[in-house]
Amino acid sequence: MKLVHISFRFEYSDDIDFILDKQGITDFVRYSMIEGKGQDGKHFGTQVFPGSFTVVQARVDDDQVKKLFRDLDEFRLRKKSHEHLRAMVLPVEDSLGF
């Protein structure tokens, strides 16, 4: 079992939802309107630093991670504005309620 952490510009939430649905990932946590700094500067949701990020964390079976990353990478490479997407995999040593 792995924890996949995905961060992206908030306006692409529907696209990421589509990818998660396609992969059959129905249980996840979404943190919206996150402030952060990307390759093109700060995104604090203000007039001075517009924009914000969304973070999704999902518990994913080991054999599903590569397929999910393939779809996320295809999305990331599709348009220059998608380059902000970042994803990482963390091991899950133990969990409750799953």
On whether residue 98 sits in a domain, the answer given is no
On whether residue 79 sits in a domain, the answer given is yes
On whether residue 97 sits in a domain, the answer given is no
CA–CA separation, 56 vs 17, rounded Å? Answer: 10
The count of structural domains within the chain is: 1
Place of tokens 């080991």: 62
Question: What angle, rounded to 10 degrees, do the helices at 65-78 and 13-22 form?
Answer: 150
On whether residue 55 sits in a domain, the answer given is yes
DSSP 48: S
pLDDT of residue 30: 98
On whether residue 59 sits in a domain, the answer given is yes
CATH number at residue 26: 3.30.70.120
What are the start-end ranges of the E strands in 35-85?
36-38, 41-43, 53-60
Range of the domain at 66: 2-90
**Per-residue pLDDT tens listing for the chain (98 residues):** 999 999 999 999 999 999 999 999 999 999 999 999 988 899 999 999 999 999 999 999 999 999 999 999 999 999 998 999 999 999 999 988 87
Place of tokens 């091991």: 91
